[in-house]
Amino acid sequence: MEKTLYFGYGLNRNPEFLQALLGRIPENYDTASILKDHELRIQRHDDLPELSRRIIGKAYGSDFRSYVIYMSPGKEVGGTTWAIKPEELAILNYWELEGDWHNLAEVVITGSVGKYSALTHICKYDKGIAVPDSISYPDFIVDREKIIRSALIEWITWKKDM
């Protein structure tokens, strides 16, 4: 089966979270992944586009926060690159509200295995607060149990609808 390299940052670099969202922990391709010329930020509920704000607000309310990335020369973001299946990319696109809040983009990663191309989600809206240490930041900035539970529900719903 064909697999795609996916650069995960924030929650998407965390194996426990991906186990809940995707139903398995994907193959770890590179844990020392660096995305150059991008900046890691934290967006709050009010920073989201209208449709995403309505969808996310139902589950998390106005205290929602999430990591996002934007193009920014000279900045770097640390993450993990995973080898994922096509259906897992579809689940990630759904979770990241691809098309409204994020765009799926091909990027060049520098890691322990050299330079390579991978896909990742880049925020469409230039908002949020910059994260000072964008290499070794905490994966979870919202309630861990609540987000894991939400991811598990999404995976169950996705599998049921397939």
Q: What is the dihedral of CA 106, 111, 114, 115, to 10 degrees?
A: 20
Q: Can you give the residue ranges of every domain in the chain? A: 4-161
Task: Decide: residue 22, CB within 10 A, 0-12 exposed, 13-18 middle, 19+ buried.
Answer: buried
pLDDT in tens, 117-130: 999 999 998 999 99
pTM above 0.85, yes or no: yes
CB-based contacts of 129: which residues, under 8 Å, 6+ apart?
Answer: 41, 42
Task: Please state the rounded mean pLDDT for residues 114-143.
Answer: 95
Tell me the CATH architecture of domain 4-161.
Roll (3.10)
